[in-house]
Structure 1
Amino acid sequence: DEKWTEKIDGMTIYKDVQLKNILEQAGFRNIQIHKSEKGWLCITAQK
Protein backbone atom coordinates (compact mmCIF):
# COMPACT_ATOMS: atom_id res chain seq x y z
CA ASP A 1 0.00 0.00 0.00
CA GLU A 2 2.83 2.39 0.77
CA LYS A 3 4.08 1.91 -2.80
CA TRP A 4 1.10 3.83 -4.19
CA THR A 5 0.84 6.47 -1.48
CA GLU A 6 4.50 7.32 -2.06
CA LYS A 7 3.98 7.59 -5.84
CA ILE A 8 0.74 9.58 -5.76
CA ASP A 9 0.79 12.66 -3.54
CA GLY A 10 -2.32 12.96 -1.37
CA MET A 11 -3.55 9.43 -2.09
CA THR A 12 -5.17 7.53 0.77
CA ILE A 13 -5.73 3.79 0.76
CA TYR A 14 -8.64 2.60 2.87
CA LYS A 15 -9.38 -0.84 4.30
CA ASP A 16 -12.68 -2.47 3.31
CA VAL A 17 -14.20 -1.98 6.78
CA GLN A 18 -13.25 1.71 6.73
CA LEU A 19 -15.08 2.19 3.44
CA LYS A 20 -18.08 0.25 4.74
CA ASN A 21 -18.27 2.54 7.78
CA ILE A 22 -18.02 5.64 5.60
CA LEU A 23 -20.83 4.37 3.36
CA GLU A 24 -23.03 3.51 6.36
CA GLN A 25 -22.51 6.98 7.81
CA ALA A 26 -23.54 8.45 4.45
CA GLY A 27 -26.82 6.51 4.55
CA PHE A 28 -26.00 3.59 2.27
CA ARG A 29 -27.41 0.13 2.96
CA ASN A 30 -27.09 -3.40 1.60
CA ILE A 31 -23.34 -2.93 1.47
CA GLN A 32 -21.53 -5.86 -0.11
CA ILE A 33 -17.76 -6.19 -0.18
CA HIS A 34 -16.11 -8.29 -2.87
CA LYS A 35 -12.37 -9.02 -2.69
CA SER A 36 -10.14 -10.74 -5.22
CA GLU A 37 -7.04 -12.79 -4.58
CA LYS A 38 -5.01 -10.10 -6.36
CA GLY A 39 -6.05 -7.47 -3.83
CA TRP A 40 -8.78 -5.76 -5.84
CA LEU A 41 -11.78 -4.49 -3.94
CA CYS A 42 -15.29 -3.86 -5.22
CA ILE A 43 -18.01 -2.49 -2.96
CA THR A 44 -21.65 -2.22 -3.96
CA ALA A 45 -24.34 -0.46 -1.94
CA GLN A 46 -27.78 1.10 -2.22
CA LYS A 47 -28.78 4.60 -1.22
Structure 2
Amino acid sequence: MDDHSEPDPNKRVTAPMQEFGSHEVGIGAAVTLVGLLIAYVLPFLFTF
Protein backbone atom coordinates (compact mmCIF):
# COMPACT_ATOMS: atom_id res chain seq x y z
CA MET A 1 0.00 0.00 0.00
CA ASP A 2 1.28 3.50 -0.88
CA ASP A 3 2.01 5.94 1.87
CA HIS A 4 -0.01 9.08 1.15
CA SER A 5 0.45 11.02 4.34
CA GLU A 6 -1.42 14.27 4.81
CA PRO A 7 0.64 17.44 5.17
CA ASP A 8 0.91 18.94 8.63
CA PRO A 9 -2.04 21.38 8.89
CA ASN A 10 0.03 23.69 11.11
CA LYS A 11 2.61 24.15 8.34
CA ARG A 12 0.16 24.75 5.48
CA VAL A 13 -0.36 28.35 4.45
CA THR A 14 -3.13 29.54 2.17
CA ALA A 15 -3.19 32.86 0.33
CA PRO A 16 -5.51 34.76 2.70
CA MET A 17 -3.28 33.84 5.61
CA GLN A 18 -0.03 35.04 4.04
CA GLU A 19 1.30 38.42 5.00
CA PHE A 20 2.12 40.97 2.32
CA GLY A 21 3.99 44.22 2.40
CA SER A 22 3.93 47.57 0.71
CA HIS A 23 5.93 46.19 -2.24
CA GLU A 24 3.13 43.77 -3.14
CA VAL A 25 0.53 46.50 -2.63
CA GLY A 26 2.47 48.75 -5.01
CA ILE A 27 2.62 46.04 -7.66
CA GLY A 28 -1.11 45.42 -7.33
CA ALA A 29 -1.87 49.14 -7.65
CA ALA A 30 0.34 49.42 -10.75
CA VAL A 31 -1.34 46.43 -12.38
CA THR A 32 -4.75 47.91 -11.58
CA LEU A 33 -3.82 51.27 -13.09
CA VAL A 34 -2.49 49.66 -16.28
CA GLY A 35 -5.66 47.57 -16.57
CA LEU A 36 -7.88 50.63 -16.14
CA LEU A 37 -5.81 52.50 -18.70
CA ILE A 38 -6.21 49.73 -21.25
CA ALA A 39 -9.89 49.14 -20.51
CA TYR A 40 -11.18 52.71 -20.33
CA VAL A 41 -8.69 55.42 -21.30
CA LEU A 42 -7.37 53.98 -24.58
CA PRO A 43 -10.81 53.23 -26.04
CA PHE A 44 -11.96 56.72 -25.01
CA LEU A 45 -8.97 58.31 -26.78
CA PHE A 46 -9.62 56.33 -29.98
CA THR A 47 -13.20 57.60 -30.23
CA PHE A 48 -11.94 61.03 -31.40
Q: TM-score, normalised by structure 1?
A: 0.32
Q: Relative to total residues, which structure has the larger helix share, 1 or 2?
A: 2
Q: TM-score, normalised by structure 2?
A: 0.32
Q: Relative to total residues, which structure has the larger strand share, 1 or 2?
A: 1
Structure number with larger C-alpha Rg: 2
